[in-house]
Structure 1
């Protein structure tokens, strides 16, 4: 299956934890993503890892934000960045999928909150599309539990994701005209609620260099799995790379 470079923006949540020892770090990673679409060709893609903070402004990979409030236990920020889905018909090996309309990337903007406790961190976010592509809204809540051993930090987590019907219709719906062209079933999904699991690893090689990797698996909601565009019951994202703290 082939994965759009833009689907890899989902790694932003998985790699931003790499800002550990410096206000500025840069590096690169390789990523593989499966959004769950039917018969898409596999591709490994390069992704920049850039983390920078200046006052309350920050850049985490491809995501920019501004802290409205933060202390050692909590932070709340406004954030803007690319979404996680795009569909290009020519990328599919399925003749019916090739007849569908192109689904463009959404630019998602909203709020992100982190609440840190002795046993872990609660991460919450709510974003809406400001590009006019999907026009949809998404929300996520996840519990992350960092486990430290010397220079190694392993962070398992699990969460719940919500997508509204407008978001789902754009990326997984099949219009009447598409159905006539492709022979697929006309479908208009509603809201969806799904669960995800993730595991991140961070290793501080020395004062400056670090290694990072992460994997996230998300169950596609039932209303999404019923779409003829979907070839599996879940989506996955894997990324591994290295960076330098300045």
Structure 2
């Protein structure tokens, strides 16, 4: 069966965008940068770099989180590393991509950065997620469905996402806008936004037990081709909290957003 060059290019572009957007949406999640390009015969298909990330949490905290994180990208068509996500291809053809992966997820609440009663709450930590995703490449963009669950035993939460992403090429930039919906179960919301009865007893806060919720999110990520060895990455992701999350005594913002600046070198 003959596969057209334009179709292959479209699939490759969407695969690249998924590597970027998976990281930007991990709320940590994460570092964001392009998937490795192996078009040069002298390249190993490996990218190493560093990301500077500003995480503006919706939690009622004194300071926003600023972190410097290393990042690695590798893809041999069977196994891959995309920043904080490690996985394998179960299906990888011109139209469809099925992945199995592990990655960090969730939120981070440090009571040392809070004040008042919130400083007496328990710490909420990142969790580890295992999951799978399906992506369909079309002439108008990529459509992805993703399902993951916590394997650390912290939140015991489950996260499902539906995402649409596109691609723009102004000059030396490649820009990937995306939008989607995120569903999380009650276990996730209870751990990251709930107030237990034990916490309520030692503070003036009321116990709070949220249910499951659906939140919209947006992301715009851009890759600037400096030269054949170096790429610059800029990313901005925004998540709009659901009512179940906004009503938490731990929250003082309706949105959370992450800004990422990265530099990658291709080996």
- TM-score normalised by length of structure 2: 0.84
Structure 1's 167 and 8: CA in aligned 2 closer, same or farther, altered over 3 A?
closer
- The answer to whether residue 184 in structure 2 is matched with residue 173 in structure 1 is no
- The answer to whether residue 105 in structure 2 is matched with residue 79 in structure 1 is no
Structure 1's 243 and 30: CA in aligned 2 closer, same or farther, altered over 3 A?
same
Residues 53-75 of structure 1: CA distance to partner in whole angstroms, max 9, x if unpaired?
23411111121101101012221
Counterpart contact for 1:8–1:32, Cα < 8 Å: no
- Displacement of 1:123 in angstroms is 2.3
Residues 27-70 of structure 1: CA distance to partner in whole angstroms, max 9, x if unpaired?
11100112310123123210112101234111111211011010
Partner residue of 1:124? 145
| Whole-angstrom CA distance in 2 between matches of 1:222 and 1:204 | 40
| Whole-angstrom CA distance in 2 between matches of 1:151 and 1:40 | 39
Counterpart contact for 2:58–2:253, Cα < 8 Å: yes
The aligned runs of 1:79-228 (5 Å cut-off) are: 79-92=101-114, 94-228=115-249
Structure with higher Rg: it is: 2
* Partner SS for 1:37: coil
Partner residue of 2:91? 69
Partner residue of 2:35? 19
| Whole-angstrom CA distance in 1 between matches of 2:134 and 2:223 | 22
Counterpart contact for 2:47–2:74, Cα < 8 Å: yes
Residues 117-153 of structure 1: CA distance to partner in whole angstroms, max 9, x if unpaired?
1111112211000111100100111111110134211
| Whole-angstrom CA distance in 2 between matches of 1:95 and 1:185 | 14
Partner residue of 1:38? 60
* Partner SS for 1:162: strand
Partner residue of 2:262? 241
The runs of 5 or more residues in structure 2 that have no matched partner are 1-25, 39-44
Counterpart contact for 1:8–1:31, Cα < 8 Å: no
- Displacement of 1:20 in angstroms is 4.8
Structure 1's 78 and 99: CA in aligned 2 closer, same or farther, altered over 3 A?
same
Q: Where in structure 1 do 4 or more consecutive aligned residues deviate above 4 Å?
A: none
| Whole-angstrom CA distance in 2 between matches of 1:88 and 1:108 | 20
Partner residue of 2:51? 29
Which residue of the other structure, out of 2, 7, 10, is the alignment partner of 2:29?
10
Counterpart contact for 2:35–2:75, Cα < 8 Å: no
- The answer to whether residue 71 in structure 2 is matched with residue 52 in structure 1 is no
Partner residue of 1:4? none
Partner residue of 1:3? none
- TM-score normalised by length of structure 1: 0.91
The runs of 5 or more residues in structure 1 that have no matched partner are 1-6
Name the count of aligned residue pairs. Answer: 236
| Whole-angstrom CA distance in 2 between matches of 1:130 and 1:139 | 15
